[in-house]
Every structure is written in structure tokens, then in C-alpha cells.
Chains A and B, each alone.
Chain A
């Protein structure tokens, strides 16, 4: 057991957790931030993507202890003053989600793409999202949503 101190969605948190606690588990079970989803156990599906110190990370690939002291943003922290982020708005406008399960990871990953590449091409978007599996949408409207968000960010 050890003490984990993080700043999550702008709020300082401090919790005891066993050393082998994954960041994804810490967020879901210790902080009840259940917007971050677990879709596989092999770091393939990307449903658990969050931002750690500004960069996207599959939160099932890191121990909570490894990111101790970091700033973490989850899907719950993307709104500002109750207003959805342009990426969230674009997903809604262009039907970039269906069942919603992969969506938090997909959105967090897409937001990071636009931080690193302001005007990605279709191919660049599809390549970047290769680590996020969606079974519902066939990805077409997700790609469209990311392009739309790029015009608003």
C-alpha cells in the first residue's frame, strides 16, 4: 500500500492504494470516475485513454504509483463550466458514437491528436486512432467529428 497523490480534473486527490493498482482501476474504483472504461486486459482497445500531464495514455498500461504527482484529465474533466469541449460537441453533431462505451477513450485520444496536429488529414486521423477500437460506428463519423473539431479548436 502507498499513498497516491494526483491532480485529477483540477481537483487534488490523495488515496491509499496497493502498489499494483492500475491507474484505470484507481480512477474507477478509488475515485468513482467510471467514465474511463475497461474494454480489454491487453492494452489494445483504448477505452481507458486519459491524459496524464497533457498527453494521452491508456490508463490500464500504467500503475497509479507510476504517475504519482501527475495531473490527470479524464472524460469527466473535459467540460468547462458545464460546456462540452469542441470534440465532445463534434461527436454529438456528427453521430460519432453509438453505444458510448469506447467513446471516452476515443474522445480523449482525439483531443490529444489535435493538440499535436492541428489540421490532420483523414489518413492521419485514422492512423492516430488505430489504438482505439470501436465496434459500432465503422469509424467514419468519428473521423468526420475529429475534422469538425479541428475547425473549432
Chain B
């Protein structure tokens, strides 16, 4: 039987999406349901002097109006940060309370203060208009760089500082810098982004008064984790009385990891009114209240010798957390950022210092790449600048500082098990025709255009993560993953996974893995996910962990099935279990060549007896049935890596940047489905290029979001991109049995510095901040003309 792992298998999930049969949360309607509208703060920072719902209550169709007072009275818990970070001085991070409905203070535009529940959506909207809130408006803090000098947002949290974290050794770094021939320094703004999954968040909560069970349908990347948080911290219901279902989910990119106010409020309120409640975000609500991403201000320095060896690295970053610290809010700018900030290089001494600050803006949390794009942007902009200042070719300078052997003990935390960074660089250069660039630059010049080339070599730590390691660093949960493999008596297989697919293609790729492990045709295998009533438990999908952690759990559960199958076959065929081999769905006794198919074995496990004979096919100690579970805890992170090369052409008359070529050469370890991986790379690139050239979330000084619709926030469109040139090198991960590494975030990590390095190269080294809009680039082109004129 040909192996399915490695094949371009068409997706099992596609037909339902292509024929309108997908079932997203907003498509769900329950009998006798009501509709919720949230009353949200129009101010970035204010205290609530008075909240009057009398008029609204009299509005037509209103069922109930609930506020922060009722939430507090019912002792419903607030939203939480999932990761406790300690400051350099040993003190614990400082987090404010974050009630699902604000009672006394609001801290960003969109912070909900009440929920109006009515018979129809129109009636809920109309009544919400009649809720009177008397705010005392306070001065907002919105700037990342100046947040520590602003008014105190949360009582008792001085300088708006959540933590002041250090990773690395300042003294060693000082010594390295003292010995350096040259110090390259850079100031970076990593622009704030809004994830913008195309499906707006939504939830439908139902309560069954007889069983006292709450069922919540919600747009989540991790329903099990949501249930745990809502139960343990939200006090919404005990876990066994709370079912969370994340059906088809229309993209997440990190924005649907968090439990949100609306999930908690609707679940709690459904029980209170004893009816189902439906809430669907309008896009403007998504802009205001989905978590945002990035938003760092960084000063970084690289100490180098005159022949281009990197000696030391320092990174001083202010990271904006927004108004509250959420699930991955505190780990994103620390352990997902700091360890990767030295990039793919051997740098003997390094530190990263992060001051995480609160501002009166939407919470900032994990967005595709989470911390690693910010880290990669910092080091790769710095290395590119070093290449210009040292006059060493940008690819040669990188190669000179690549690790020469694996495992590679990276400067700050990670031990990278496998990789071949030089091979990746060489292949990328060939794919991009790096040699031919100067000729192309001249051609562009002849047309009056400026052409630039940019390079990035990156690695990322993903496949998160070993539980003991992350919990030692402050993570509130272990980051293992579970799988359950269930044979039916008649031979088909259902695989339950704790990870969640919202575009990642698990129904197909996970079935490919199980098909190979079990020798069962892929059409007889179904993957089930997204429902806490189905499957054991799971930590969900983020950090490129579904395959590298969840996929391995499936492999391990399948291996347990095969082990039991060997024992059963041995009993059935009167052989020793050690003499039974398993291949392509058949158990074969090596000495006699007698065999049983896995289907026959499954049947025997469920129907363990024969007419007229007192005989069981099951060995002593084995129970009937064929179902195995695995909780897989990885021994290490996984480390995809690669080199990307971009070429841009700039029209100096308009400042328009045209991305002419984009080459990505990645090492993702073993690839399960090349078609799916290409799709993941394309999508990541689009988001990374979006960050570099188009996207920017901007607040004004009063805390109003200036980019709150698709008319103001530039989403990349089909005509913004060239055809991407994708290729691979492959070194298998040595820390998991499939040799896989993960591919979901690579594009978003590597593309921003790759594109910006190209833009800045075209501009003769002039710094431009992301996004490199026509206006900024046009101004830089004018400066370039002036300096060229002076030089002449």
C-alpha cells in the first residue's frame, strides 16, 4: 500500500465548504432563541458614574438587561492571563481584574458594560440605544512608547507596567560589546495589527434546566481550554455541566484562542433567563474587541568584529498589552519573543529586556507567529543593517554566523535539534536568482525605478510545548495534546483530536497519518474535533502545534492499537505476539505466514466469541473493544527554519512599492501533505507582507480606533501579490516520531523583515517603518534625491 504521508491528498473538508454546507456558529439557530447586543464603552478610559436601564427595559421585545453589577453579584470571574511572568527584580507581574462586563471603569473603546437580550436582533439593537451610561471621561494612555509616563490606568499598577522582564546576562553582553570592533544599532516599531479572521466572532449559548447543562457554540480555536477557563476561573458552570462546541470556524490566526467576554456573559445569561442566546459580532465589533497583535517599540544593538562575526546582542523592548492581560498576552512578548531574538546565529552573549505596558487600547495577544515575527524582525533588520555598514554581502554575513553543527545550543533558551541553514540559504539564492539581481537593478534604474533585494533567515520555536518546561516558566497549563483512536466493529475508524481545525486541514492530514499507521483506507477514517463532549481533552490549535504535538498523539494512539492487534492476532492464530508483524493493515505471523487483517482483528475485539465454542480471541488481561488514547507531551519544541528573499521595485514619483518576486525556502521537516503546506505558506506570507506594506492598527490620542473598518484598515487583496516561489529543504525533527516541525506561522514570521529589507535596500539604507505605504516611501525617495544631489 502506497504511503499517504507525503501525498497531495485532496481535502475531505472541501465539499461542505464549497457547496454551502459548512456550519459556522452564526449559522446555528436554536428553538426559542433570544438575541444579545452588547452596550460598549465609546470612551477609551472612563469611570462609570451611573448606568440607567429603566428606559431600555421598557423597549419592545426586551427579555433581560444585565450589567457589571449582576456579574459581580453572581461572582462570575473575569478574563485571565494564562502565563505568569516574573520581573527581573523577582516580583510577580501585575494584572488588573477584567470582569466580563465592566462595573466601575472602562479601559478601551469597546469594553462592554451591559448586555441587552431581546426577542429579535432589531429589538435588542433598539433597546441597547436606550441604555444610559453616564461616564466620567479620563485621560487615555495610548502610546506604547510613552505608556510608562501616562496616568495610572489600573489602580496600584505603577507606570502602567505589568512586568519588566529579562532573559540573558547583561554583564556578559557588556563584556562582549566592550570587545567589539563595531556596534550596529537600530530602532524599530513593530506595527500593531488586527488579525481579521474573515468569520466574525459569534456565540450561541443554550441552557437545559432539567440537566442543568450549558452548551456554548463559539468561534474558538480551543474549545476544551475555553471550557476549562470558563469553569475554573469564570465560575460559569462546573466542567461536566458545560459543553463547548467550536463547529466550523472561519479562521483564527490566534484571535480565537481567548475566551472572550461574550462567551462568558452569554453562557451565564442563558442560564439566568433559561433560554438560548445568540450573539454575532459586527465587523466593527471585531475590529474593536478581538485581540490585536504585535505593537512593540524596540531598540536593539549588535556587536560585531570587523570580519563580521557576531559577538553580542541586546534588545530593549516595550510591548503593549492593551487594556488587560489576556491568555497569551504576557507570554507572547516574553518566552515566545526573547529566545528567538538572536535568530539563527551563534551569538555568544545576548539579552532581551521587555517592559510590558498597559494602555487604553484593545488587548494585545497572540497573532499568527506571536512573538517570533517581532523577534525575527528585530534581528534580521539589524543583520541587514550590519551587512550594509560592514560592506559584507548580506547572505555571506548570515552564513558566517550560522551554527555549524546540530543540535545547536541557541544563545538564550533553546536547543535546536536539527536543521541545515546553509543549505536553505543556498537553495533560496538559487531559486531567487540572487546572482542576477544587479542586472535587474540596472534594468529598473533604466526605467527610472528603484529596485531592492531583501533577505531573511529565520528559525522559530513552535510545536508548543513540553509541559514541564512551559509550566516552569509560568504557563498555567501543560501543553500536551490528546488523541483517541476508535475502531468500529466493522472496521472504520474515528479519530478524536484535541486540536482544532479552522482552515488547517486536519480532517485530511490527520487522516493521512492514521491511514498510514493503521493500513485503513483514508475514506474509512474520520477526524472529529471541536466538541468537548467528543474526545478526551485538548489544548487546541496555535503555535504550529497541531501536527507536531496533536499529530504525534494520533501516531501514539495508533501504535497502541497495533500493539493490541498483535496480541489478539497471536491468540487467534496460536502464535507468540513477538512473532506477529504489522504491515499495510495486516497482522502476519512471521513463522507461519498466517495473517489477519486489522478489520478482522477489530471485529474480533468487539465480538469476542464463537458459536458452539467457549473461545475468546482476546488474550488474558485484554478487554474487549478496540480503542486507544494517547496524551502526548513533547520532549522539545520543534524548530522550522528557512531563508526568504524578496525583490521590490519602487516608483520614486509615487512611492508605490511593487513586490516583484518573493522566494521562500523553508525546512518544515517531514511534510504530510505538500498541497496543504503550500497553502499554509502562502497564507502566512500574505499576512507577513500585509504587515510590511499595508496593515496598521492606529489609535488617536484619545483612544479612538482610527482603523476600524475595511475602508480604513488595509487588508491585502488578490492584486497586491505576485506569484510566490515556494521551495523546501528537509531535515527531519529528531524529537518526534514523524520528524515534523510545523509550517503555519513561517510566512508571517519571515515575510515582514524580508520585504522591509528589500524596501530599505531600494531606498539606499533609509529606514522606513512598517507598513511601507506610498506616502512614507515617497518621502524617503525625496530625501534620497536630496542626498544624491548633495553627493554629486
Q: Do A and B come from one complex?
A: yes
Chain A residues within CB distance 8 Å of chain B: 28, 33-42, 44-45, 47, 74-76, 78-79, 84, 88, 91-93, 95, 97-104, 107, 122-123, 125-127, 129-130, 132-143
Are the CB atoms of A138 and B715 closer together than 8 Å? no
Interface size band for B: 35 or more
Question: Complex formed: what's the CA distance from A92 to B679 in Å?
Answer: 12
Q: How far is the CB of B21 from chain A (nearest CB, A)?
A: 7
Are the CB atoms of B11 and A75 closer together than 8 Å? no
A-B contact pairs, 13 of them (CB 8 A): A36-B20, A40-B283, A97-B14, A99-B502, A100-B13, A101-B250, A126-B718, A130-B719, A133-B715, A138-B686, A140-B724, A141-B682, A142-B718
- Stretch from B160-168, B193-201, B563-571 at the A interface: B193-201
B24 within 8 A of A: yes
Question: Complex formed: what's the CA distance from A38 to B281 in Å?
Answer: 10
Q: How far is the CB of A144 from chain B (nearest CB, A)?
A: 9
Q: How far is the CB of A36 from chain B (nearest CB, A)?
A: 7
Name the contact of A137 in the complex, choosing from B26, B249, B682, B719 (C-beta under 8 A).
B682
- Closest chain B residue to A128 by CB distance? B718
CB-defined contacts of B15 to chain A, threshold 8 Å: 84, 92
Question: Complex formed: what's the CA distance from A143 to B718 in Å?
Answer: 8
CB-defined contacts of A44 to chain B, threshold 8 Å: 709-711, 715
Question: Complex formed: what's the CA distance from A75 to B17 in Å?
Answer: 10
CB-defined contacts of B21 to chain A, threshold 8 Å: 35, 76
Q: List the 7 closest pairs (A to B, CB-CB), nearest first.
A: A35-B20, A101-B250, A100-B17, A138-B682, A99-B503, A138-B686, A98-B503
CB-defined contacts of A107 to chain B, threshold 8 Å: 18
A130-B718 contact in complex given A42-B710, A92-B10, A137-B683, C-beta closer than 8 Å: yes
B606 within 8 A of A: no
* B636-678 vs A, Cβ < 8 Å mask (1 yes, 0 no): 0000000000000000000000000000000000000001101
Name the contact of B686 in the complex, choosing from A36, A102, A139 (C-beta under 8 A).
A139
Q: How far is the CB of B702 from chain A (nearest CB, A)?
A: 23
Question: Complex formed: what's the CA distance from A95 to B13 in Å?
Answer: 11
B interface: dominant SS = loop
Name the contact of B676 in the complex, choosing from A38, A79, A95, A134 (C-beta under 8 A).
A95
Are the CB atoms of A141 and B251 closer together than 8 Å? no
Question: Complex formed: what's the CA distance from A146 to B24 in Å?
Answer: 25
Chain B residues within CB distance 8 Å of chain A: 10-11, 13-24, 26-27, 196-200, 248-251, 253, 280, 282-284, 502-505, 675-676, 678-679, 682-687, 709-711, 715, 717-719, 721, 723-724, 747
Q: How far is the CB of A30 from chain B (nearest CB, A)?
A: 12
Question: Complex formed: what's the CA distance from A103 to B22 in Å?
Answer: 10
Question: Complex formed: what's the CA distance from A97 to B501 in Å?
Answer: 13
Question: Complex formed: what's the CA distance from A93 to B10 in Å?
Answer: 6
Q: How far is the CB of A105 from chain B (nearest CB, A)?
A: 9
CB-defined contacts of A39 to chain B, threshold 8 Å: 198-200, 250, 283
A103-B18 contact in complex given A135-B251, A135-B687, A137-B683, C-beta closer than 8 Å: yes
A125-B709 contact in complex given A100-B250, A140-B682, A140-B723, C-beta closer than 8 Å: no
- Closest chain B residue to A102 by CB distance? B198
Are the CB atoms of A134 and B198 closer together than 8 Å? yes
A138-B724 contact in complex given A75-B20, A98-B679, A99-B502, C-beta closer than 8 Å: yes
Known: A42-B709, A134-B718. 15 other contacts (CB 8 A): A33-B20, A34-B20, A34-B23, A40-B710, A41-B282, A44-B710, A45-B710, A91-B18, A95-B675, A95-B678, A97-B18, A99-B249, A133-B198, A139-B686, A143-B723
A interface: dominant SS = loop
Name the contact of A98 in the complex, choosing from B200, B505, B687, B747 (C-beta under 8 A).
B505
A95-B679 contact in complex given A127-B719, A139-B721, C-beta closer than 8 Å: yes
Are the CB atoms of A99 and B199 closer together than 8 Å? yes
Are the CB atoms of B251 and A137 closer together than 8 Å? no
Question: Complex formed: what's the CA distance from A71 to B302 in Å?
Answer: 65
CB-defined contacts of B686 to chain A, threshold 8 Å: 135, 137-139
Question: Complex formed: what's the CA distance from A21 to B749 in Å?
Answer: 43
A130-B717 contact in complex given A39-B198, A135-B196, C-beta closer than 8 Å: yes
Question: Complex formed: what's the CA distance from A144 to B283 in Å?
Answer: 29
Are the CB atoms of B723 and A138 closer together than 8 Å? no
Are the CB atoms of B710 and A78 closer together than 8 Å? no
CB-defined contacts of B502 to chain A, threshold 8 Å: 99
Are the CB atoms of B18 and A84 closer together than 8 Å? yes
Most buried by B among A79, A95, A130: A95
CB-defined contacts of A134 to chain B, threshold 8 Å: 198, 718
Question: Complex formed: what's the CA distance from A78 to B15 in Å?
Answer: 12
Are the CB atoms of A84 and B19 closer together than 8 Å? yes
Question: Complex formed: what's the CA distance from A68 to B197 in Å?
Answer: 33
CB-defined contacts of A92 to chain B, threshold 8 Å: 10-11, 14-15, 18
Question: Complex formed: what's the CA distance from A92 to B724 in Å?
Answer: 20
Are the CB atoms of A42 and B283 closer together than 8 Å? yes
Most buried by A among B14, B16, B20, B26: B20
CB-defined contacts of B24 to chain A, threshold 8 Å: 34, 37, 101
Are the CB atoms of B20 and A74 closer together than 8 Å? yes
- Closest chain B residue to A139 by CB distance? B718
Are the CB atoms of A101 and B682 closer together than 8 Å? no
CB-defined contacts of A37 to chain B, threshold 8 Å: 24, 26, 198-199, 250
Q: How far is the CB of A57 from chain B (nearest CB, A)?
A: 16
Most buried by A among B196, B505, B719: B719
Are the CB atoms of A136 and B678 closer together than 8 Å? no
Most buried by A among B200, B253, B709: B200
CB-defined contacts of B199 to chain A, threshold 8 Å: 37, 39, 99, 101
Are the CB atoms of A40 and B718 closer together than 8 Å? no
Question: Complex formed: what's the CA distance from A141 to B675 in Å?
Answer: 10
CB-defined contacts of A122 to chain B, threshold 8 Å: 723
Are the CB atoms of B283 and A34 closer together than 8 Å? no
Question: Complex formed: what's the CA distance from A122 to B719 in Å?
Answer: 9
CB-defined contacts of B251 to chain A, threshold 8 Å: 98-99, 101, 135-136
CB-defined contacts of A34 to chain B, threshold 8 Å: 20, 23-24, 26-27
Question: Complex formed: what's the CA distance from A39 to B711 in Å?
Answer: 14
CB-defined contacts of B27 to chain A, threshold 8 Å: 28, 34
Q: How far is the CB of B290 from chain A (nearest CB, A)?
A: 12
Question: Complex formed: what's the CA distance from A83 to B675 in Å?
Answer: 23
Question: Complex formed: what's the CA distance from A34 to B26 in Å?
Answer: 9
Q: How far is the CB of B276 from chain A (nearest CB, A)?
A: 16
CB-defined contacts of A141 to chain B, threshold 8 Å: 678-679, 682
CB-defined contacts of A93 to chain B, threshold 8 Å: 10
Q: How far is the CB of A94 from chain B (nearest CB, A)?
A: 8
Q: How far is the CB of B56 from chain A (nearest CB, A)?
A: 22
Q: How far is the CB of B291 from chain A (nearest CB, A)?
A: 15
- Closest chain A residue to B16 by CB distance? A100
Are the CB atoms of A78 and B683 closer together than 8 Å? no
Most buried by B among A34, A122, A123: A34
Question: Complex formed: what's the CA distance from A101 to B199 in Å?
Answer: 6
- Closest chain B residue to A146 by CB distance? B718
A129-B20 contact in complex given A42-B710, A95-B11, A99-B502, C-beta closer than 8 Å: no
- Closest chain B residue to A101 by CB distance? B250
Name the contact of A47 in the complex, choosing from B198, B248, B675 (C-beta under 8 A).
B198
CB-defined contacts of A123 to chain B, threshold 8 Å: 719
- Closest chain A residue to B13 by CB distance? A100
CB-defined contacts of A133 to chain B, threshold 8 Å: 198, 710, 715, 717
A137-B679 contact in complex given A40-B710, A99-B199, C-beta closer than 8 Å: yes
- Closest chain B residue to A33 by CB distance? B20
Q: How far is the CB of A111 from chain B (nearest CB, A)?
A: 12
CB-defined contacts of A79 to chain B, threshold 8 Å: 19
Are the CB atoms of B711 and A42 closer together than 8 Å? yes
Question: Complex formed: what's the CA distance from A134 to B718 in Å?
Answer: 8
Question: Complex formed: what's the CA distance from A130 to B682 in Å?
Answer: 17
- Closest chain A residue to B709 by CB distance? A42
Question: Complex formed: what's the CA distance from A145 to B184 in Å?
Answer: 46
- Closest chain A residue to B681 by CB distance? A138
Question: Complex formed: what's the CA distance from A137 to B679 in Å?
Answer: 6
- Closest chain B residue to A82 by CB distance? B19
Question: Complex formed: what's the CA distance from A39 to B709 in Å?
Answer: 11
